[in-house]
Amino acid sequence: MNALLPIGSLLLSVSLLLMAHGLMGTLLPLRGMFEGYSSAQLGILGAVFFLGFGIGTVLGPRAINRVGHIRTFTAMAALICISVTLQALVTNPVSWWIARALTGLCLAILFIVIESWLNANSTNENRGMIFSVYTVITLAVMTMGQALTTVSDVANFTLFAFAIMLFAASAVPVSLTRTTAPTPAGTAKLRMRYLYSLSPVAVVGAMAVGWANGAFWTLGPVFAQRETGDVTMVAAFMGATVISGAVGQLPLGWLSDRCDRRLVIIMASLCASIAAIGHVVTTLMFNLTGILACAAAFGFFALPLYALCAAHLNDQVEEDEYVEASSGLLLLYASGAVVGPLLASALMDRFGPPTLFIFTGVVHFALVLFAVVRLKFRKTTATADRMSFSDTLVATSTVANLDPATSDSQ
């Protein structure tokens, strides 16, 4: 507990920030449907968010190195408030796409600020605990934010006002903290081909998870709203997915520390694929209980996959390459999350909402096939030589040391 006191203001800022982010992630698809947006237009909304997020991973380190952590945080929070206000006042698709891309860019930079600050204020003895608390807070407050969509009509300004206030309030604890902000770190190279040579499963897995999860986060609320017609069910659907995803981190991480991580990736991907197909079946039966059960199963197996891929890659890299590995996987995830919503939304427009989960199921099953093939080519690193799952999450949590100007060639 003593280790958390110096970063209490930062964790409070994180809570307010991500509660607002959870609210907007569910509110925008619902409001978009009210405004008559097609699935394709909503898919673009998700794609541009992750496009902005990817750009933010490049610009973020430069901003921090120039003005420091606190000024960067407050500036990005202010820009997000402007973005959300624009979306509340102007509801045409192009304006929303621009504003959502700006939000993605700002959030990426904010995550860099937060996670590099947490790393700088932790030690080898307490880092795992600090980041476990951070992960729990992240998932819990995002669920609370999603639940806020039930307190007012999505057609009103009220929910946008809640989000703006939360984003603005998130800058206050950081701005007034007495904790010294960390000194900006040095730079690291980013070599995609090198990372692929170390762990093809992790690299391909990060992009595949981006395809599937980017589509889900963007279009999951659309699926739930169109199939149930109930905003409360939308919040329950998204909440069940996020909460079970938090729970799934522990057993899957524990298991991956004790066997070939690729086997756990294969198992989790296969189960996520089965849960996705279960969504299709329960939707055709219009079984609300079954839909929520499949949401929980999907979250349990799908949401920890990125961390499993990151853990597997970090088994193969040297200690001074952790930032490069984290940066590369984050960019791969973001690039996949640009494409996923576009493809899934096109399928939903043509064949109906359940095809969202046909798409995610196919992507996860393709990852299963790729990982199975890779098992035949290279043996895994011995368990004794690997990081624990929790330590690996810490090592891959920040991209603050990324130098986007370096070459990606080996």
Tell me what pLDDT residue 169 has: 96
Mean pLDDT of the 393-398 span: 58
Q: Tell me the C-alpha distance between 163 and 248, whole Å.
A: 28
- For 285, the 3-state DSSP assignment is coil
Mean pLDDT of the 371-376 span: 88
Tell me what pLDDT residue 278 has: 94
Mean pLDDT of the 3-21 span: 83
Mean pLDDT of the 117-132 span: 67
Please tell me the pTM assigned to this model.
0.79
Q: What is the pLDDT of residues 131-178, one digit of tens each?
A: 667 777 888 888 899 889 888 998 899 999 999 999 999 999 988 887
Q: Using CB atoms within 10 Å of the CB of residue 5, give its burial: 0 to 12 exposed, 13 to 18 middle, 19+ buried.
A: exposed
Tell me what pLDDT residue 260 has: 84
Which is nearest to 74 in space by CA: 3, 29, 16?
Answer: 16
Structural domains of the chain ordered from first start: 1-177 (1.20.1250.20), 186-400 (1.20.1250.20)
Q: What is the pLDDT of residues 290-324, one digit of tens each?
A: 999 999 999 999 988 988 888 888 778 776 666 66
Asked whether the CA dihedral 156, 158, 162, 167 is positive or negative, the reply is positive
Tell me what pLDDT residue 384 has: 47
